[in-house]
Structure 1
Amino acid sequence: MKGWTAVVLAGSRPGRDKFAEQHGTDLKALIPVGGIPMVARPVNALLLSPQILAVSVLAQQPDRIAKVLPANSRLKVAASGDTIASTLEAILANPATHFPLLVTTADHALLSPAMIADFCAKAEGAELAIGLVEKRPLMARLPNTKRTWLGFRRGSYSGANLFAFGSADAAKAVALWRSVEQDRKKGWRMIASLGPALFVGAVLKLRTLDQTLASVGKRLELDIRKVELADPLAAVDVDKPADHILVSAILEGRA
């Protein structure tokens, strides 16, 4: 069976979500963006993509999420784990999981079939691929946007909330993720966990991102690939009120 399966992570962090409450809900995935619940946007993009065979949406309250999604034989909604790492570990350990596997998030409201096609083509064959956007094209498109950047020799990058897993072996990388999950917005913490030489080389920008990923891959015995997305908007998610304003403006053609 050729083609990709996709997982959309639509879980919630523990405690109150003030961002969601500002939009009349307690679940971030249900925040309306451009008139429809946020989670429906990446799900619809995946269902429209010929590369994707099936889509699973995972959340702590799957019944509520399912109510806002289309009825489609290729789509299922199920319970997630308590954290991203535990959810991914369960997926990768499941013998029924079909690879390659694309993982994205419910707040990727600008995800499009074109982005998905670009990512799948560039990630094909990798054991683990990480979607990224380089700083210059995004700042040229949205000069006032604020993102989390990791700087390396020859470029700074922001995550695009797109990951590819080529086999269950990629669980080794998820185990590393689990160890720093509470600092997932601080990518340097993950690099530091791999050793002082790698950390210092990255901080001083002595290494390119490709060299850094090669070192990480060697440590984990994985082929880890950078996937630089052609569309810089792939790095824009809806994680805070300013993002919601920006993404709404983009969808309405105002930005």
Structure 2
Amino acid sequence: MSGWTAIVLAGSRPGIDPFAAANGTDLKALIPVGGVPMVARPVAALLEAPEVATLRVLAQQPERIAAALPKDERLSVEISGATIASTIADLLTDPETRFPLLVTTADHALLTPAMIADFCARATGKDLAIGVVERAALMRRLPDSRRTWLKFRGGSYSGANLFAFGSKRAASAVALWRSVEQDRKKGWRVIAALGPVVLLGTFLRLLGLDAVLSRVGRRLGISIAKVELSDPIAAVDVDKPADLDLANRLIAERQ
């Protein structure tokens, strides 16, 4: 079967999740967003996207996640690893995995088929492509939105929770990701893990994001590219109460 294999990461961290508990559940992926479980929204967008051939949802409690999702022959709900990086590493080394992979998260509640089409069209052919949104674009649309921004020459970027893996070769990037996984919200620590030249170049604003990814790719022996999403809403995930309020408002506006 041709087309993308889409992966939705719907796992949870160990222990009590205060954000989930405040919204009547113990699993973040099941927090209601716009009247439906959060995870159901990116799943619906992916099932609607013609680029997606199969869809795999990965979670530590797959039976509970499956109960919140539609029945579709393209959709399976499976057990995940303990962390995001370990889960993706397992996917990349699994001989049954079909490439290319499109990876997103259960909290990408505002994902749309248009965003998926935009990302897939420009991610094709790379070992690893990373979806991003530039700060100025999001501020024009949502001036009060608060995101984690990484600053480079030519702009500041936030992740869009969209990743493309074109081949098993990207496993080297995932190994680097695993080394900084606990610090993924702390931009300077992530950049520091890429080496002193990248850290200094970014700190002094001597390097743009494309240059940084090119250097990292050469170091790892793979091709890496950013995909700057046309719709800045792609940067909005539902990670805290303010995000949930914003997502509910934007969904109401769409309807």
1:252 Cα deviation after fit: 0.7
1:188 Cα deviation after fit: 2.2
Cα distance between partner residues in 1 of 2:171 and 2:188: 20
Q: Which amino acid aligns with 2:245?
A: I
SS of equivalent to 2:212: helix
Map of 2:73 onto structure 1: 73
Q: For residues 7-86 of structure 1, what are the structure 2 equivalents within 5 Å?
A: 7-86=7-86
Question: For residues 118-155 of structure 1, what are the alpha-carbon distances to aligned partners after superposition, in whole Å with 9 as ceiling and x for unaligned?
Answer: 00001010100000000111000000010000111111
- Superposed CA RMSD in Å reads 0.9
Map of 1:239 onto structure 2: 239
2:179 maps to 1:179: yes
SS of equivalent to 1:53: strand
1:190 Cα deviation after fit: 2.2
Q: Percent identity, please.
A: 67
Map of 2:190 onto structure 1: 190
1:253 Cα deviation after fit: 1.2
Cα distance between partner residues in 1 of 2:193 and 2:141: 34
Cα distance between partner residues in 2 of 1:187 and 1:85: 17
Map of 1:168 onto structure 2: 168
1:2 Cα deviation after fit: 2.5
SS of equivalent to 2:253: coil
Q: Please identify runs of 4+ aligned residues in structure 1 that moved more than 2 A.
A: none
Map of 1:6 onto structure 2: 6
Cα distance between partner residues in 1 of 2:119 and 2:38: 21
Structure 1: gaps of 5 or more residues: none
1:187 Cα deviation after fit: 2.8
Q: For residues 63-142 of structure 1, what are the structure 2 equivalents within 5 Å?
A: 63-142=63-142
Q: For residues 240-255 of structure 1, what are the structure 2 equivalents within 5 Å?
A: 240-253=240-253
Cα distance between partner residues in 1 of 2:216 and 2:191: 8
Question: For residues 27-61 of structure 1, what are the alpha-carbon distances to aligned partners after superposition, in whole Å with 9 as ceiling and x for unaligned?
Answer: 00000000000000000000000000000000000
Q: Work out the number of aligned pairs and report it.
A: 254
Cα distance between partner residues in 2 of 1:232 and 1:41: 18
Cα distance between partner residues in 2 of 1:136 and 1:123: 22
Question: For residues 45-81 of structure 1, what are the alpha-carbon distances to aligned partners after superposition, in whole Å with 9 as ceiling and x for unaligned?
Answer: 0000000000000000000000000000000000000
Cα distance between partner residues in 2 of 1:120 and 1:178: 24
1:186 Cα deviation after fit: 1.5
Q: Which amino acid aligns with 1:45?
A: A
Stretch of structure 1 that moved more, 187-196 or 71-80:
187-196
Cα distance between partner residues in 2 of 1:96 and 1:230: 33
Q: Which amino acid aligns with 1:181?
A: E
1:238 Cα deviation after fit: 0.0
1:194 Cα deviation after fit: 2.0
Stretch of structure 1 that moved more, 48-57 or 183-192:
183-192
SS of equivalent to 1:214: helix
Normalised by the length of structure 1, the TM-score is: 0.98
Normalised by the length of structure 2, the TM-score is: 0.98
SS of equivalent to 1:252: helix
Map of 2:154 onto structure 1: 154
Cα distance between partner residues in 1 of 2:187 and 2:82: 21
Question: For residues 182-218 of structure 1, what are the alpha-carbon distances to aligned partners after superposition, in whole Å with 9 as ceiling and x for unaligned?
Answer: 1111232222112111101011111010001001101
SS of equivalent to 1:97: coil
